[in-house]
Structure 1
Amino acid sequence: MLRPSITPSPVHHPSELPASSVPAALDRGHLYSPTLDITSYGISYRSGDDFEPMSGAPRGDGKAFARWWNKIASINVPDYLGLRVGDEITIQHVTCTGPGTVVETCRFGALIRYPMPAGASKPHAEMYVRRRNLAGHWYR
């Protein structure tokens, strides 16, 4: 089966804050989208084209978390820190790196589909990535 041609998002220098729908911040070379408490730490950030930093997830109350997820975090966005649906990226796993494909972007992060090893019960798995390290690999 042939894969459709995918135009990757521009690759940014590790110290560059990309234009994005969500805000972008760098801390010790790691790119991420900050939450509202960023200003209390004195970390500079670039405002998002569509959103300012969102609140952190509420803890301990399942109903409050569900409201936060449904009304704030899972809102679809055109990109997450420059990642767009269809982009091929490298995921930083615990012991290795591997390929992944962006299948969805929301305020919370980018949902990535990645292949499972031969013999696994499923051909692929999915995870959200929210940060990029100095080597350009994405992780939770």
Structure 2
Amino acid sequence: MPEYPRSSVPAAFDRGHLYSPTLAQTALSLDDRYAYDYRPGDLFEPMPAAPCEPKAYRRWWRNSAHVTTPDFLGLRPGDTLTVQHVTSVGPGTVLATWRAGAWVEYPYSAPAEYGRTLVRRRNNSGHWY
């Protein structure tokens, strides 16, 4: 049984990958065909799935996904972590946490240049992507 972090958002595991589920995924958990392990969030329920239509998506992002949280799956602003890139793993620093994920800054190969990405999952090796 995987160990869940204390978190403002709900947490779930799928094949060793930690993530925050949507309402649609929790509905699937009621079906016996899906093995699903779940911990409710301290402050938030699972987010609704993102709509496809641009205006509805913008509203969903502003009102559901981009809501500031004290943490995201145990990550807090200022924490350091490892980011899983396509061909490598590198360090990163959490800048902000939202209901949809953690905003992370990571160094490029060029000195003094940084990239930013939203991480939403942690793989079974402990790296975030």
Q: Which of 27, 30, 54 is residue 62 of structure 1 equivalent to?
A: 54
Alignment of 1:68-87 (within 5 A): 68-87=60-79
Distance apart, 1:39 and its partner CA: 2.7
- Segment of structure 1 superposing worse, 109-118 or 41-50: 41-50
Unmatched runs of 5 consecutive residues or more in structure 2: 30-35
Residues 71-106 of structure 1, C-alpha deviations (whole Å, 9 max, x = no match): 110000000000000000000001000000000000
1:44 aligns with 2:25: no
Do structure 1's residue 129 and structure 2's residue 119 form an aligned pair?
yes
Matched AA of 1:50:
L
Identity of aligned residues (%): 56
**In structure 1, which of residues 3, 12, 26 is the aligned counterpart of residue 13 of structure 2?**
26
Backbone CA RMSD of aligned residues: 1.4
User: Post-superposition, which runs of at least 4 consecutive aligned residues in structure 1 deviate over 4 A?
Assistant: none
Matched, 1:116 2:103: no
Aligned residue identity for 1:69: W
Read off the aligned partner of 1:130 and give its amino acid letter: R
Q: CA deviation at 1:18?
A: 1.1
Unaligned runs of 5+ in 1: 1-13
Q: TM-score, normalised by structure 2?
A: 0.91
